Structure 1
């Protein structure tokens, strides 16, 4: 940003007190005990409005499913100096952090109780791609995405993309449910020992197969630590026991997630890209 973000917020009429954090998409500052203001770095107004629609539907779906988990609903949208500002609910709680599967499994169970709704399928999967069609089986949509994104990824083995797509298309369709798509422990907030909030929907958030969410959550328990493989395997075992998912399906979904994420990191070599490609290799060698 070319100007001080808090000064821009105040010029726009928001009496923010202090910065709470900043990331790839913008800066968040405290407005009061119940609200924050976010200054988006690059999101145009129409995309933010879609996110507003999505968050409203997420909260309604979780409430109807008996899971009163707060999400950062967008309460107000404004523009200043060509940038979008949003007033959002201020979530309470402390990030889970570390490899702690139980709270994440509780969130997965709650998400899997939220049935498909058109407003839950309005976001691109991922940026630059169209939303998934809830009427199309998730495996077919994911297969088509893999095929479209694969040319952006260097180093894929010959035939691996076609084989992965065929395996995804062959998955038995399941009733579509809310999918976070990037559920790591850092996205789960706890208050008084219970899940109180859920952050950072939007990367590949849609409606689809809950097993995809579980597969991704497993590898996000510990991405780069020395115990990463054990954390993924341990989470898989718990997901199989609790939800009945097939282990090989989890590995396949992780590979698809790895390929799609690698395509978003094309041109940015480093350990994150290597980690994504390792997810693909693990499936290819299984």
Structure 2
């Protein structure tokens, strides 16, 4: 069986340079797996694209994580020349690795990663790359949560790094610090609105599938996949998902009249903080 992606650039896929160390490869691979794992799909429209992206990441890692294959690719620039194992089943390989990266393994990785040197280094790199964009950390750093507690945690880390002269005191960071509450509340409202919209779309998909299959089992693989996707949460954080379901019908429109009012937002945040303290 030939290679699945003969024209793929494994370095570009893993977003690393050709001089990347084994540790660099491992770190980038982990981040990308968490970001593109099919179980983190937000809606059915992303299913095929996410699955393809994930498989490319697995394939790129299988090449660069093997010193012999990496050397051969570096010398020839051809992936067809790298795959010398007759009868190797890439489909089976992708399925096996995907099964190993599940919610349990992600939870274990989260426990090890948070507040670690790896996380701090990722924060430093991302902060420098974006010239001090603090909020982008919630979209790029693995295992981050949308909560006041998390904002305080990341803010403390960045503030310490800036005070210790490890990070530059960028203008974007200065602006965030000076208007921290207003900027954070605006960002949080925006994210909750987006998540609630996705949750409502998933609920709609589920109802359509159930209606279509009324009185019979979900036998079609496609129907089963769509049904499962519709029930998946839009984020690994269960609290956020519950909030989306509860408040989703109140904040799907972008019009001012249907926006989240301050009282409702305060209730959401109070519940969010209360649940975080219980963990």
When normalised by structure 2's length, the TM-score is: 0.28
Higher strand share: 1
Higher helix share: 2
Instruction: Identify which of structures 1 and 2 has the higher relative contact order when contacts are C-alpha pairs closer than 8 Å and 6+ apart.
Output: 2
Query: Over alpha carbons, which structure has the higher Rg?
Result: 2
When normalised by structure 1's length, the TM-score is: 0.28
